[in-house]
Amino acid sequence: MQNVVNSLAVFAFLGMVIALFAISALLRIVRELQQAVLAAPAAEPGPAAVRRVARFASADGRPTFVLVVSEQCPSCRDRAVHLAGTPRVDGHLVLLSAGAACAAWVEPAPHVEAVIDADLLGSVAVGATPSLVKYTPDGVEEWRRAVGSDPDLDRLLGVDLPESSNVR
């Protein structure tokens, strides 16, 4: 009986070792994909039908940065809260969503305008959320990019972080 128990213990240990190797390989693949996403250039503007949005034109000559979020997305909430705490950038900040609850994420920030409009969201037509879309002062889309992290959002917005800041 002791031999059976010992054999089962050895098999269980071997199974754990194999599982650790499999998890390690998956983690390596995920890290490679993350690096590829961070190194990718900004996506090309969308088709001509969605390139111009008059709602995002500005009279002061500054661009408009539109963070497109979804109400059910935890990452969207994190990026929106970070956007609300972002220092002023050289442009207008807009949060665009179809869900009214998303407006509360940026409510404490007067420099971020929350736009809750399903039709406008459909015309912007992003493929993934959260995404940041930059519009020129005349409302023409310049670029769009999926946002994976707070430092990624800061980089896309052109926020200068102090050297002493702890960037994750």
pLDDT in tens, 114-156: 999 888 888 888 888 899 999 999 888 888 899 988 888 888 8
For residue 161, name the pLDDT band (cuts at 50, 70, 90). very low
CATH number, span 48-157: 3.40.30.10
The CA distance from 165 to 34, in Å, is: 22
pLDDT for residue 66: 92
Q: Specify the higher pLDDT residue, 72 or 161.
A: 72
* pLDDT per position as a tens digit, 59-109: 888 999 999 999 999 999 999 999 888 877 888 899 999 988 898 999 888
Residue with tokens 């992290």: 149
Higher pLDDT, 29 or 41: 29
Distance CA 143, CA 74 (A): 24
Domain boundaries, the chain: 1-40, 48-157
Write the CB contacts of 111 (distance below 8 Å, at least 6 apart in sequence): 88, 93
